[in-house]
Amino acid sequence: MSAVVVAEELTKRYGPRLAVDHVSFAVGAGEIMGLLGPNGSGKTTILRIFTGYLRPSSGTARIADHDVVDDPLAARRRVGYVPEDAPLYPGMGVREFLIFMGRVKGLTSTSLTAAVDAATERLRLGPLRTAQIGRLSRGYRQRVAIAQALLGDPALLILDEPTNGLDPRQIIEMRELIRALGGERTIIVTSHILGEIERVADRVAILLAGQLLGIHAVRASREGGRIRLCVRGDEERVRMCLSRVPGVTAVAVDDQRQTPAPTYLVDTQHASLAESVAQAVIVGGFGLLSMESAPVDLEALFLQLTGGRTESGK
């Protein structure tokens, strides 16, 4: 998968304070990357660097091979951005605003009308096309903001806290929309709510105090499975045996548990591979003492990575 978004040693400094501290990651085409972290962890700053709103103090940020500092207009043409709280012009009508944003993004005549109509339909804004933005509910304003971001068919969609201020029904709709948009284009979405990001993202980057603590594949664990096994036998040979099972993506030893024999955590592509794993252990001549499903708990991972640190008392 080719990377649409690349951050290399990205750093943003506000005076003595490091808002983003040497962050590096890449996001592939069609992938949904979630940035998770408490308020002030640097999520929005990273997004603003990619949109060209902020300049990085050092490091590079590239969108579809265009550097956001050296080639800002080309980079911005490839981004659709929905800032936090979806700021819009309250005095404009919905269609008037979308036409204005389409023109600003370089669309003309027929392509402009087609793009505005498509975005209006996609976000189900048809009945509201003449409505004044200032009179719309929070949920509809968010939809208008996403509609403008889709104009020009950008390779990358950046959504900053898209479910903020929405009611439960609107949150579910927004989640479905983000999932539907993923696959068609690359999406970076931020949230400080763990459950939200877990439901929509393929991978989650966990940030704290401007530092990237780790990146976790959520989709893999959502679609696949994790099995915890207690197996008697030579540790190296057991690991080798487990990793040879088709569909096993990772094998790790779980040191946290006090068991009579080593405990292994096996990540699989599909949850149905448990039987094959058990068979491999038995056929390999090892003693299978216990076996259970162990779904990845993002909350536990977040706590483990942050090590109980907080923004103020790290």
Partner 1 sequence: MRNFITLLVKEEKAIFSSPIAFAIVAVYLLLIGYTFTLMLFLNRTAELVRVFFQAAVLFLLIIPVITMRLLAEERRSGTLEILLTSPVREIEIILAKFAASLTLVGLMLALTASDAIVLGVYADPDWGPIYSGFLGLFLLAAALAAIGLAVSGLTSNQIVAAVVAMGVGILLWMIDSIGYLLPDPFDTVVTNLSLVAHFTPFATGAVFLSDLGFFLTVILVCLLLSMRTLARR
Residues of the shown chain interacting with partner 1 in the complex, contacts defined by CB under 8 A: 48, 51-55, 73, 76-77, 79, 81, 83, 85, 87-91, 100-101, 103-106, 108, 148
Q: C-alpha dihedral over 208, 213, 217, 218, to 10 degrees?
A: -30
Of 89 and 272, nearer to partner 1 (C-beta) is 89
Supply the minimum distance, in Å, between the C-beta of residue 64 and partner 1.
Answer: 13
d(CA 175, CA 62): 27
Q: Which of 81/302 has CB closer to partner 1? A: 81
Question: Which is closer to partner 1, CB of 66 or CB of 199?
Answer: 66
* Nearest approach, Cβ of residue 81 and partner 1 (Å): 5
Residues composing the chain = 314
What Å distances lie between residue 6 and 23, 188, 309, CA to CA? 10, 12, 27
Between 114 and 303, whose beta carbon lies closer to partner 1? 114
Q: Calculate the dihedral angle through the C-alpha atoms of 28, 29, 30, 35, rounding to the nearest 10 degrees.
A: 40
3-state secondary structure 97-146: HHHHHHHHCCCCHHHHHHHHHHHHHHCCCHHHCCCEHHHCCHHHHHHHHH
Nearer to partner 1 by Cβ, of 55 and 135: the residue is 55
CB of 87 to partner 1, least distance (A): 3
Angle at 109 (CA atoms; ends 103, 114), nearest 5 degrees: 90
Helix or strand holding residue 9 (H, E): strand 3-14
Q: Give me the least distance between CB of 14 and partner 1, in Å please.
A: 11
Minimum CB separation of residue 134 from partner 1 in Å reads 10
